[in-house]
A and B are shown apart, each in its own frame.
Chain A
Amino acid sequence: MSLNQEGVGRIARLARIELSAAESLATQDQLNGILGFIARLQAVDTTAIEPMAHAIGVVQRLRPDLVTETDRRADFQAVAPEVEGSLYLVPKVIE
């Protein structure tokens, strides 16, 4: 399952990371090296094994559906790249 340039481009688009042509070529080699390394997992028979998502098998806690946090919008927006009128500014998405 080795990656070609088209595959690298598809993953980069999914990951929202722009790669230059030179970066894309270098990335292809490195990713294929890593994929080759992790391919050894395929040799193990795991048919009857349950996947283990977390190390300690605890049940998710629930809490009452109540507002517990105070409004700290100003604090959080103070670290944003661009804010106007308490809104985060991004490029226009609807013409």
Chain B
Amino acid sequence: MINASLKELSAALAQRKISAVELATLFLDRMERLNPTLNAFITTDRDKTLAQARCADEIRKVGAGDTAASLSDTPLNGIPLAHKDIFCTQGWRTTCGSKMLANFVSPYDAHVVERFAAAGMVTLGKLNMDEFAMGSSNETSFFGPVKNPWDVSRVPGGSSGGSAAAIAARLAPAATGTDTGGSIRQPAALCGLTGLKPTYGVVSRYGMIAFASSLDQAGPMAKSAEDCALMLTAMAGFDTRDSTSLERPAEDYSRHLNQPLTGLKIGLPKEFFGDGMDTDVRAAVEAALAEYRKLGATTVEVSLPHSELSVPAYYVIAPAEASSNLSRFDGVRYGYRAPDYGDLADMYSKTRAQGFGAEVKRRILIGTYVLSHGYYDAYYLKAQKIRRLIAADFTEAFTQCDVIMGPTSPSVAFAFGAKNADPVQMYLSDIYTISTNLAGLPGMSLPCGFGNAQLPNPMPVGLQIIGRWFDEARMLNVAHQYQQVTDWHMRMPEGMA
């Protein structure tokens, strides 16, 4: 059952082969056993989870004729999932991986959390993450690093590393994630999962603690593209409470899953296939492309000439927005307050010095600098102009192809501490993912093999698919067809049985 797809779990629940309570218990027991090793969850509450599961069972029992009848028919009713701890959850702690919010219990639910609750899904707990989603390795969490289930001496990727590790170790069948510069796709790649960052504005950001508002986007993480399609259908939708939420008709993101790929044109950006990608990653990605050709797709070389500027542009824009968003953490209305202080300014400064970790402080300081008097035009405005050039590159590339493919991450999961000494080296972990956030495009990662040439344990490699704006259904189709002829997405770390 732990390897079952969401569709299979849904069928098992509908046919009364298992109850929601039994299913939740199965995952809670695994969590109890394996989480001490992995540190994927920050908060769990068996009683709350089982209460939700009992409710899901009751709704299914009552069935048609009741006010809850519509819920009994939803495919996700009774299926457990876990939330990245960036989503506000009423009654559960929401820490965002920070000491600043270590004891914060939100008075409301995020839109995404409401959506899954309305679909009858059962919350298994809150997942560890890089502090305020700032990191590429999950080493910046106040609650300690998350271990990669494929090799616990290696990082799971960040910032949705808790989400990725939990699914990879089968502590949860699915999870929410957020992606500001690659934080769904990169950990999905490093842990052997499928993860999708939708087009900016497709999923509401209400109740999702803001990092860089013009880049942040919530999305699904699961074992397969089919599972992600089911989750995205539940997550997406207009929300008046988020001014950047887009008013679009509801979509069934599973609708194209079974279409053949004959005639599909795959664009391969020459900038993604140059130096900088590890040999193992290159081999796995090339093999995946060969598989796509067998499925009827053709490949064409495209160019994204400004892609090398995406990381520096991101590291101006994201910290600038973060420095503004994180100004709300001042020890007045919620969160941590320093125990000893003098005047008001001293209280702010001590609270923020003690409440934030090193990476968050670093980014706030960079953001403050690039927005400060005399530097705004040189840095922030310049980066916003380069952002347009990056988006225009994609528009041009999509005149020649239907989707773009390449590696998700330049390497497989690296060892803890390997990139801590130099922030810039860490920032380059997201070199292939950041440009889609700047352009607002949808991107996804799916497992396409393993890199094991010089490693004691084989580590997963991710294939990235980038689509046109609002082309999620087609991307999921492209991923699903590949997953029909390969089984990389069904592999499970040996030690997690």
Give A residues with C-beta under 8 Å from B. Answer: 1, 3, 8, 11-19, 27, 30-31, 33-35, 37-42, 44, 46, 49-56, 58, 60-61, 63, 72, 75-76, 78-82, 88, 90-93
For A72, list chain B residues within 8 Å (CB). Answer: 107
Taking a contact as CB atoms closer than 8 A, the residue among B243, B330, B353, B368 that contacts A60 in the complex is B243
19 CB contacts below 8 A, A to B, read A15-B367, A16-B330, A18-B346, A27-B365, A34-B362, A34-B423, A35-B366, A37-B311, A38-B312, A38-B313, A41-B316, A41-B386, A52-B391, A55-B437, A55-B440, A56-B246, A79-B335, A81-B336, A92-B343
Taking a contact as CB atoms closer than 8 A, the residue among B105, B352, B361, B385 that contacts A50 in the complex is B385
Contact (Cβ within 8 A) A44 B309: yes
Contact (Cβ within 8 A) B423 A33: yes
Q: A11-B369, A11-B372, A27-B362 are in contact. Are A41 and B379 (CB under 8 A)?
A: yes
Taking a contact as CB atoms closer than 8 A, the residue among A39, A53, A60 that contacts B214 in the complex is A53
Instruction: Report the Cα distance A12→B353, complex, angstroms.
Output: 10
Taking a contact as CB atoms closer than 8 A, the residue among B201, B379, B384, B422 that contacts A58 in the complex is B201
CB nearest neighbor in A for B355: A17
Instruction: Report the Cα distance A6→B246, complex, angstroms.
Output: 44
Q: Is B132 an interface residue (CB 8 A)?
A: no
CB nearest neighbor in B for A52: B388
Instruction: Report the Cα distance A54→B201, complex, angstroms.
Output: 10
Q: Is B273 an interface residue (CB 8 A)?
A: no
Instruction: Report the Cα distance A15→B350, complex, angstroms.
Output: 12
For A17, list chain B residues within 8 Å (CB). Answer: 349, 352-353, 356, 361, 364-365
For B391, list chain A residues within 8 Å (CB). Answer: 52, 55
Give B residues with C-beta under 8 Å from A. Answer: 104-107, 199-201, 214-215, 240, 243-244, 246, 306, 309, 311-313, 315-316, 323, 327, 330-337, 341-350, 352-353, 356, 361-362, 364-370, 372, 375, 378-379, 381-389, 391, 422-424, 427, 437-441, 469
Contact (Cβ within 8 A) B353 A19: yes
Residue of B350, B362, B368, B422 with highest tally of chain A CB at under 10 A:
B368
Q: A18-B350, A19-B353, A80-B333 are in contact. Are A41 and B246 (CB under 8 A)?
A: no
Contact (Cβ within 8 A) A30 B362: yes
Instruction: Report the Cα distance A40→B331, complex, angstroms.
Output: 37
Instruction: Report the Cα distance A60→B247, complex, angstroms.
Output: 12
Contact (Cβ within 8 A) A50 B388: yes
What is the minimal beta-carbon distance from A49 to any residue of chain B, in angstroms? 4
Contact (Cβ within 8 A) A76 B107: yes
Contact (Cβ within 8 A) B243 A15: no
Contact (Cβ within 8 A) A56 B341: no
What is the minimal beta-carbon distance from A13 to any residue of chain B, in angstroms? 8
CB nearest neighbor in A for B352: A17
What is the minimal beta-carbon distance from A67 to any residue of chain B, in angstroms? 15
For A31, list chain B residues within 8 Å (CB). Answer: 362, 365-366, 369
